[in-house]
Amino acid sequence: MSSHTRVPSTEITGVYGAVMKRFSRKMFGEVPEPLGVMWNHPASLKAGMALGRKAASWHECDRDLKSYAHMAVAALIGCSFCLDLGYFQAHNEGLDVAKAREVPRWRESDVFSPLERDVLEYAEAASQTPPTVTDELSARLLERIGAAGLVELTVWVAIANQMARTNVALGIEAQGFSAACGLAPLARPGGIASQA
């Protein structure tokens, strides 16, 4: 668990808080620190969770592609919590964890298909300030995943940015979810392995 957040955790109370704690314990075995931090402003937590639930129901873009895109955003921004959680979720949802662990060093890795590499490049390009998405990259993705898929991917990347940037700004770090389920450490750029 992270030793320092920029905003202290607060007690999670009320009916909604009890539901959140029960759900967290069922899913993770504990109540993650970010929940207590975000509980300082429950309305913003509820809004973010509602958006996340709605986005999880979208199906125009492949789930694996979106998972890799989210992890690429997290790696670029430096959100160890998002990487740890993303890797844990990949494991629990039956996604390819060998690929998931390679996302932080996707440029050097040979495990990704050309489409997956384009998605990873797109996620990073859309996350730059200002965005550096090219017409050529967009055209390749448009051809492969269609207009609805590209719009969904783009909004998914924007949501991933919101989550990752919020966590980094608040000082929220990895909680050890992936280590708790015995996953090998995530790869780092340059081939150095590290547990998120």
Domains of the chain from N-terminus onward: 60-194 (1.20.1290.10)
Q: Which tens digits make up the pLDDT trace of 56-98? A: 999 999 999 999 999 999 999 999 999 988 888 888 888 888 8
177 pLDDT more than 90: no
Residue 196 is predicted with a pLDDT of 47
Whole-number pLDDT of residue 68: 95
Q: What is the pTM of this model?
A: 0.90
**pLDDT confidence of 104, banded at 50, 70, 90?**
very high
DSSP characters over 61-113: S-HHHHHHHHHHHHHHHT-HHHHHHHHHHHHHTT--HHHHHHGGGTTT-S-S-
Q: Which pLDDT does position 192 carry in this prediction?
A: 41
Q: Tell me how far apart the 2 most distant CA atoms of the chain are, in Å.
A: 51
Residue 194: pLDDT above 80? Answer: no
Mean pLDDT confidence for 8-34: 92
First-residue to last-residue Cα distance in the chain: 11
Q: Is residue 29 predicted with pLDDT exceeding 90?
A: no
Which residue would you say has higher pLDDT here, 182 or 143? 143
Distance, CA of 59 to CA of 74 (rounded, Å): 22
